[in-house]
Amino acid sequence: ATKAAPVLEQNVLSSPWGEITVGKETLVDYVFKDIELWSDAPCVTCGATGRSYDYAMTKMMVERCANALAGPLKMAPGERIGLILPNIPEFVVLIHGAMKAGLVVTFANPLYTADEVSRQFKDCNVKAIATIEMFMPVAMEVSKSLKDYKGTIWVGGEDDKAKGVFGLRSLLMADHKADLPTLNCDDVCLIPYSSGTTGMPKGVMLTHKNLVSNLKQVQAPKMMKYEGEKGKGDVVLTVPPFFHIYGFNGIMNYNLVLGYHIVSIPKFTPDDYINCLVEYEPTTLFVVPSLLAFMATHPLVKKEHLQSVQTIMVGAAPTTDSMLEKFLLKCEKTKDQIKLLQGYGMTESSPVTLMTPYVYPYGKVGSVGQLVPSTQARIVSLTKGEALGPHQSGELLLRGPQVMKGYWNNEEATKETVDSEGWLHTGDVAYYDEEHYFYIVDRTKELIKVKGNQVSPTEIESVIMEKPEVADVAVVGMPHSLAGEVPKAFVVLKPNQKLTEKQVYDIVAQKLTKYKHLEGGVAFVDSIPRNVAGKILRNELKVLGGKH
Ligand code: 4UW
């Protein structure tokens, strides 16, 4: 079942799983297209509070939300709305409601500082924000920096007209009627932020067509078990955030299309997670490697907790064979009893491009899988740029209908990332074997991944550079057993200036969210190694970092 597809000219590989039909559906229509088949089945449940909506209720709330946004909030098609929300059932309502109203959604990690959110929301000119009580202070502060701001939606809160606050409940209860626009599948509907191969986080423009194509690709008949099993009543427990492309499209939308019951928790705690395993008996878990490591190694997680689990999908950062094996040992199950699937993707590709098929040979554990349908790949040499054959490592290039339209307001970065032939330059180093299974071995881009979260070294560097004592700085990712990587800073001080490691740590901790903090440490050096073009030689620093 896993025969490689023929190699095309110039070592271009195509998917062994065929093609999808790229259609004209909009994301919200596609996601709820089969809802009559399971309208009274549970759709999305908060694993911490038990709050739950069935499919019919969710769809009705989506429609009312769209009308409220176009009505009382006066949001016009194409305008941006920013979500500052953890994984709660209302996330589904707000994001699909906004898209149904023709709005473009951008989402931020709710644990971001006001500075971080503000930078993103200003960049794409957000005109309304939706959030929960805990993050209202951030939302109100950020809203002051936004032009033509139209209002804040408070999930779980009441109207406060004087402050421009709309309670979600009262918006939905009022059942407003507005003129909703006719949507075009080529319209941008989502702008998540990614640092790409270099620099600060940039808005990634994804269209309905990009996102729907990817949903079709990951449901490829033959590649996945799911053919003919729709609506079977799977229960999915997921922690990866809905405000990241993997959580939003790869998990939320994917499971909505299939009519599955999505259980999530707004904040990971071992107790809540284990309670969900026991109470909901999930058949599928969506995880990142650090969560897999938690289950495999934490003494609180017992094999009895994992008895209902049939499939685990892991991705967003590298995981190891030995961690996968440790997990199976913990469950006392074989790979035939629990399928460990891996996927690889990027925000810039909606996100999935490589995935292990549901059935694959044991020896391929550790691979991120094969090309999903309608996707092509090339591996090009890092030095000369020529296309390489099997078992040769080089930069991974990808092409398919899921590749972004471009970066928001940044033509230069777009051109550097998606070339004139449509190839997405991933900045990841990979190779493939004879059966066209891919293996990620390294990264040429600057990106640091902490527990699956993106960390842009440029962003941390720019915060440290604000200190007058600092002459130069570079941040790199250092390997870490649980988080995968953690950031470490190399700082050059100006002559006769003093800063302690703690002071540098604190500068970052004040401005940026927790997973961006310098857990890899701070080292003071005489100079930062750079090439002739002034580009930081990060690999040299990584080697040095282990010694400092
Ligand atoms: N192994 C090694 C991996 C892997 C990886 C990603 O934040 P972004 O832009 O996007 C993501 C997307 C994750 C994802 C997509 C689809 C999927 O099926 C799945 O797993 C089930 C996960 O994280 O970061 C993109 C970068 O993250 C690294 C890699 O460097 C990539 O360019 N990355 N997945 N399996 N590294």
pLDDT, tens digit, for every residue of 131-164?
A: 999 999 999 999 999 999 999 999 999 999 999 9
Percent residues over pLDDT 90 in the chain = 87
Sequence-separated (6 or more) residues with CB below 8 Å from residue 166: 68, 72, 73, 151, 152, 153, 154, 159
Tokens of 50: 């038990």
For residues 235-247, give the mean pLDDT: 96
Q: How far is the CA of 143 from the centre of ligand 1 (A)?
A: 31
Look up the pTM and report it.
0.95
Q: How far is the CA of 468 from the centre of ligand 1 (A)?
A: 36
Query: How far apart, in Å, do the first and last CA atoms of the chain sit?
Result: 49
Closest protein CA for atom 31 of ligand 1? 346
The C-alpha atoms of residue 533 and residue 409 are separated, in whole angstroms, by 25
Given a cut of 80, is residue 545 above it in pLDDT? no
The C-alpha atoms of residue 154 and residue 136 are separated, in whole angstroms, by 8
Closest protein CA for atom 26 of ligand 1? 346
For residues 332-356, give the mean pLDDT: 93
Comparing 365 with 255, which gets the higher pLDDT?
Answer: 255
Closest protein CA for atom 20 of ligand 1? 315
The C-alpha atoms of residue 119 and residue 193 are separated, in whole angstroms, by 11
Q: How far is the CA of 310 from the centre of ligand 1 (A)?
A: 22
User: Cα-flanking dihedrals φ and ψ of residue 442, to 5°?
Assistant: -165, 180
Predicted confidence at residue 364, as pLDDT, reads: 86
The C-alpha atoms of residue 348 and residue 403 are separated, in whole angstroms, by 6
Given a cut of 70, is residue 317 above it in pLDDT? yes
Sequence-separated (6 or more) residues with CB below 8 Å from residue 182: none
Report residue 228's pLDDT band, with 50, 70 and 90 as the boundaries: very low
Q: How far is the CA of 442 from the centre of ligand 1 (A)?
A: 12
Q: How far is the CA of 453 from the centre of ligand 1 (A)?
A: 9
For residues 155-174, give the mean pLDDT: 97
Report residue 5's pLDDT band, with 50, 70 and 90 as the boundaries: low
Mutation test residue for ligand 1: of 292, 342, 346, the one with most atoms within 8 Å of CB: 346
The C-alpha atoms of residue 85 and residue 92 are separated, in whole angstroms, by 11
**What long-range pairs does 441-444 form, CB within 8 A, spacing at least 24?**
441/393, 442/393, 444/197, 444/382, 444/395
The binding-site residues of ligand 1, defined as CB within 6 angstroms of any ligand atom, are 194, 245-246, 250, 313, 315-318, 342-347, 351-352, 355, 368, 426, 428, 440, 443, 449, 454
Q: How far is the CA of 516 from the centre of ligand 1 (A)?
A: 18
For residues 276-301, give the mean pLDDT: 95
Given a cut of 50, is residue 34 above it in pLDDT? yes
For residues 427-443, give the mean pLDDT: 96
Q: Hey, what amino acid is at 39?
A: S
Angle between helices 321-331 and 289-297 (to 10 degrees): 40
Sequence-separated (6 or more) residues with CB below 8 Å from residue 68: 97, 166, 171, 172, 174, 176, 178
Least confident interval from 229-238, 337-346, 466-475, 492-501: 229-238
CA angle (174 as vertex; 43, 133 as ends), nearest 5: 65
Predicted confidence at residue 225, as pLDDT, reads: 60
Nearest residue to 427 via CA among 349, 350, 363, 371: 349
Q: Which DSSP letter does residue 200 get? A: S
Closest protein CA for atom 2 of ligand 1? 318
Report residue 255's pLDDT band, with 50, 70 and 90 as the boundaries: very high
Given a cut of 50, is residue 1 above it in pLDDT? no
Predicted confidence at residue 233, as pLDDT, reads: 75
Report residue 487's pLDDT band, with 50, 70 and 90 as the boundaries: very high
Query: What's the half-sphere exposure (Cβ side, CA atoms, 13 Å) at 273?
Result: 19
Report residue 384's pLDDT band, with 50, 70 and 90 as the boundaries: confident
Q: How far is the CA of 367 from the centre of ligand 1 (A)?
A: 13
Answer whether 253's CB lies under 8 Å from 246's CB.
no
Closest protein CA for atom 36 of ligand 1? 317
3-state secondary structure 132-184: EHHHHHHHHHHHHCCCCCCEEEEECCCCEHHHCEEEHHHHHHCCCCCCCCCCC
Predicted confidence at residue 316, as pLDDT, reads: 87
